[in-house]
Each structure stands twice: as structure tokens, then as C-alpha cells.
Structure 1
Amino acid sequence: FFDMAWAYFEKAATDHVVHAELFFDPQTHTERGVDIGVVINGLHRACRQAQAQLGISASLILCFLRHLSEDAAIATLQAALPYRHQFIGVGLDSSERGHPPEKFARVFAQAKALGLHLVAHAGEEGPPAYIEAALDVLQVQRIDHGVRCVESPALVQRLAASRVPLTVCPLSNVKLCVYPTMADHQLPALLDAGLCAMVNSDDPAYFGGYLNDNLLATFNALPQLGAAQAHALLRNSFEAAFVPPAQRDAWIAQLDAAFAQAAADVGA
């Protein structure tokens, strides 16, 4: 687990990533007899080394597999408690269809009581109602994917007003046939509506693209996106990060300065 995470961090460093919040699915491994401590300790050691050697801030988010039962998720959370200091939140991933967020209401309530951050995959393969349930029932702070919110104008207005972040993963969306091609992606509409959308890599080894691959594919396919949208997407990613406000503000200041300098260089 250390080797796998470290390989990711080395690649992320070449993309100039400064902060990463890594999802991991312990149930994939505990179901085949791997102790959850082996999973978490290995990943966390890589996070510490990424900070020390690469200057990348990194945190872990423990995800529950939604095609499994809520009882299995609760057991996973309980098993992870001895390692509580090594992860910052819980999430919900795997197949959306037939597994609505409310199926996991109890385990998310338990996680919230522990002071963990809450996120969930919703509105990628599943309908906009899954986004609403993730917000209202699970009380998540961030929606992973969420692109199908565009099918509900009322939900788009709600997300814009609340600034609930959407971690959009364009290459993954195309691979999973959410959109036929990248040119069909609704990311421009999300930005135009004022949503706190950003670009992420999902499972880069599976879906064929790390962060910059996703950004390049998106901007190459969608000519209506330009420097202003790039600035907004990256700014939103820092706004959505689970980091201390002072660190967030410092990163945003660096980002703003970089875009201001780039604009000045173009105009020179």
C-alpha cells in the first residue's frame, strides 16, 4: 500500500500538485483477509513521506463500498477507529445505481459524531435525487462527481448558493459513459452557473489520466474554456480542500499571483 501510494505521489509531483486527498476502499482488501491496519498504515506512511520529500500535503479519506451493506460499512468504520488519527474523513463510492445515499445514513451519522469530514459520490451514474439525499440525509460537505445536477435547475441553484463543491472527474465521466465524448461534457455549464466545480483525476491508473491529463483533455475538447475558467477551477479546488484556512489562503494567493503574472506576460 505504501508503494502504490508513493508511486501516485511521485506522479502527482510532476503535475505540480501541492495537496491531495486520497480516497481508499479498505473493504476491497479486508474482504480478502488483509488487516485494515496494514492498509491504513501503508497509505499514511506514503502521505508523510510525500510531505517530507516532495512537499505535497496529503490526507486520507476512508470510503465505503455502496454495493455492500451498511452493516459492513459500520463494521469497517469501527475497525478503523484505532487509526482514526490517520484519516480525515469518510466517503461513499462504487456503483451508484440501486444504492442510494440513504442506505448509509447510520454510518455517516456515526462518522459525523466522530468529527470526520463527510463526502459521497452522487449524481454521476445516479440521478440528481442522489445528490439531494447525500446533502440532506448524509449531510456531506462535498459531492464527488455531481455532474447530473444540471438535470435539475433547482438543485443547480441550491449548489451555487451553498458553494457545496463538486469534484468533477472528466476522463472518468467519459470512460463510464456519463458523456459520449469530452466535447459533450457539462463542465462549462457548471462554471457558468456559479458552482464550485473543479477537475480531479478519480482513479488515474484505471481511467487513463492524472490531474494534468484531465485538465488538458478538458480544455482541448471544450474551446469555450479559457484562462478565466482554468483559474476558477483551480481556485475552487483549494476552496474545497479540507485544510486550515491559513494554508488555503496561502495557496490561493500563490495561485492568484501566478495567473496575474501569466496574464501580464501575455499582454507584454
Structure 2
Amino acid sequence: MPTDPTEDQAALRGWLRALPKAELHLHIEGTLEPEMMFELAARNGVRLPYADVRAVREAYQFTDLQSFLDLYYAGAGVLCTQQDFHDLAAAYLTRAHADGVVHAEIMFDPQTHTARGIPIQTVFAGLASALREARDTLGLTSVLLLSFLRHLSEEDALRTLEQALPLRETYADLWTGIGLDSGERGNPPEKFTRVYARCAQLGFRLTAHAGEEGPPEYVRGALDALGVERIDHGVRSDEDPALLAELIRRRIPLTVCPLSNLKLRVVDDLSRHNLARLLRAGAMVTLNSDDPAYFGGYILDNYMASATALDLDRDELATLAGNSLQASFLPLADKARLLDRLAQAVTQP
């Protein structure tokens, strides 16, 4: 009797959900679902340029990264209070837990909020309360990656860092790393060498977006000029064979976001995404959701869509989950414990 494809998909989804995995490329502002956007707008008296939730979703037809960012920054304007940031993060963490995420490394953009007059303390406090709550109630660990906006100046990034540093002790259990996001075009990594050198001196873990819309030279710049440990996206790295060989040799993780790449037209068809080729070549690829409220898929959706479009087998999917744990900023003992859990989960039907 032929197998029912629907049953096969349901079985695969259940198996993938049971795999312990980390999410390493997630912008918390990008988890703002339209329903919550309207709820917070009403709570805070913010006027939105959309009539209803449907109108917001219809605006999610992006032509490139910048067209997305324009809407992304507008949506973030409803985040005003500590409770808003708590509710946003709590909603994401609940959903991530349901998808089998056991550890999340969450990027946030304080400059997006301080530019609107929101104190940086408000952002930290709201996010931290949700992360600690999820740790205690769901067993889901998480950390914060303070991300600088690359379309702004390095001086602005340095000011933001100095504003945040007095809070470091209060949030020492959560704030462990630094990131770099926003529009790549015209904003090479070398623009931020001083602030990254300062963060390295302070002992922060370092990552940066590179090689999404920007060329492979930006990946090289992130490695050499910024000293990052991970590359966010990095899908254009295979345009430079020597660079790709170095990434493979050094086991530099790539936090790939397939549905994001499709939605922002980095690729025009998921079946032509290079993540499978990168993985099979030996690159340390991980799967992530980026800005799932805007791109139509959380982490389990990204695993499922990639498995289907790229004909990934279960061994490859388990490797992606294992890569996510190994590429995390967790202590080695925690990684080992989670990798043992993964090895047990892989054998389940």
C-alpha cells in the first residue's frame, strides 16, 4: 500500500520537534506577530498605518532586505514598556519551546528603541524577565546578543555600548554576546572594528551578519577585522572557494535562515538554496528563523521546508540540530549534555 504523504510529513515533523536544538539567529523584534502589534499599539496609544491584521500581512511582500527593514522598524514602534518587551519575548520562547528549542541566543536592537526615547534599561529588564521565566518554567535556556545597527555610525554603536555596560552585572547570566545587523549594502564589517575590539576586550562572544546581501568579502571582513566566532547568514560564502575552504577548516558556524532568504529574495526558490550543498561540503550550517513573524515560519517550519525542498535525509537533519548545539555559546558541559539528548532522540521513530 502506498504511503500517505501527509502522514509522512506529520511523522517527520514530530520527529524533528523531538530533536533538541538551539536557535542562534533570531531577532526578538522580528517575532512581533501582527496580532500582538495591534494589541500593543492599543495598549500604548500608538497609531499604526494599517487598518487591521490582514492589511499588515498583505504588506509582507518584500522586494529586498531594505523593504523588510522599513516595515520592521515601523512595527517596533509599538514596543514602549518593560511589559511590552516581556510579552514579546515570552510569546517567542513559548513557541520555540513547542518546536523543540532547548536553547536560544536572542538578538535585540537597542538603538531601534533608544532612538524613540525608550530607556535601554526598559529593554533589558523586559527581555530578561521573560528569559528568566522561561528558564525556570520551561527549562529553556537563553542569552541576549546586543546587536548594533550597521546603517548607523560606529560612534553611535560605541555610545550604545557605553549606555549598556552599567547593566552588565545585573544581566550577567543573560547578556553574553554582541551582534551586527541591519542593511549590509554599503556598510562593510570594517566600519565597526573599534567597537568589536572593545567588546572582545570585555569578554563578549562575537557574531555578525555577513554574506546575505553583502558579498563574500564581507564574510572575510567579519572574520578578519571583527574577529567573530560565527557568521550570521553567510550564504554567499561559496562564491569564494578559498573562503569556503577556510570556513570549513576552522569550523566557523553559519546561522542560515532559509525561509528568510526566500522571503527577501536572496534565493528565488527554496529548492535552489545552497544550504544543502554547504552542509554536504562540510560547512557547519545551522538552521534558524531570523524574523519569523515577517517571514512566515518559526524554526520547525524552517526545518520542514528545507527537508522537503532540498531532500535532506534524517541524518542530515540531525547533523543540523547537532551543529546548532555545538555552535552555541553554551558551556562545553551543557553542550555535551544536550548532544547526548540529541543522540537518544535521533534513534526514536
- TM-score, scaled relative to structure 2: 0.74
> How far, CA to CA, are the matches of 1:192 and 1:140 in structure 2?
23
Runs of 4+ in 1 over 2 A off after TM superposition: none
Offset at 1:203? 1.0
Aligned residue number for residue 78 of structure 2: none
Q: Give the counterpart of 1:251 among 338, 342, 346.
A: 338
1:241 lines up with 2:325 in the alignment = no
- The letter for the 1-side match of 2:188 is P
Aligned to 2:15: none
Correspondences of 1:20-39 after superposition (within 5 Å):
20-39=104-123
SS class of match (2:184): coil
* Correspondence for 2:211: 123
In structure 2, the partner of 1:88 is 176
1:134 to 199, 222, 240: 222
After TM superposition, give the deviation of residue 173 of structure 1 in Å: 0.5
- 8 Å CA contact retained: 1:156, 1:193: no
* CA deviation vs aligned residue, 1:72-98 (integer Å, no higher than 9, x gap): 000000000012242111100000010
Aligned pairs for 1:7-156 (under 5 A) are: 7-85=91-169, 86=171, 87-156=175-244
| % identical aligned pairs | 52
Q: Aligned match of 2:294 in 206, 209, 216?
A: 206
Instruction: Give the distance between the partners of 2:183 and 2:219, measured in 1 at CA.
Output: 14
State the 1:206 CA deviation: 1.5
Give distance in 1, aligned partners of 2:167 and 2:300. Answer: 32
Partner of 1:174: 262
> 1:193 Cα deviation (Å)?
1.2
CA deviation vs aligned residue, 1:113-144 (integer Å, no higher than 9, x gap) = 11000000000100000000000000000000
Amino acid at match of 2:324: S
Amino acid at match of 1:60: L
What does residue 229 of structure 1 align with? Answer: 316
Name 2:281's counterpart in structure 1.
193
Compare CA radii of gyration and give the structure with the larger one. 2
Preserved CA contact (<8 Å) 1:18 1:56: yes
Where do 5+ consecutive residues of structure 1 fail to align?
A: none
Give ranges in structure 2 of 5+ residues lacking alignment: 1-84
Q: Which has the higher contact order (CA 8 A, sep 6+)?
A: 2
Greater CA deviation, 129-138 or 212-221? Answer: 212-221
Q: What is the deviation of 1:247?
A: 0.5
Tell me the distance in 1 between the aligned counterparts of 2:119 and 2:268: 40
Amino acid at match of 1:164: I
Contact 1:235/1:252 (CA < 8 Å) preserved in 2? yes
CA contact (8 A) 1:19 1:57 kept: yes
Q: 3-state SS of the aligned residue for 2:142?
A: strand
The Cα offsets for residues 208-267 of structure 1, whole Å up to 9 and x where unpaired, read as: 1110011111111112x10111011000000101011010001001101211x23xx5xx
- Give, as a single letter, the amino acid of the residue that structure 1 aligns with 2:290: D
1:23, distance to aligned residue in structure 2 (A): 0.2
SS at match of 1:88: strand
SS state of the match for residue 132, structure 1? helix
3-state DSSP class of the match of 1:258? helix
CA distance in structure 1 between the partners assigned to 2:198 and 2:137 by the alignment: 35
CA distance in 2, matches of 1:174, 1:43: 29
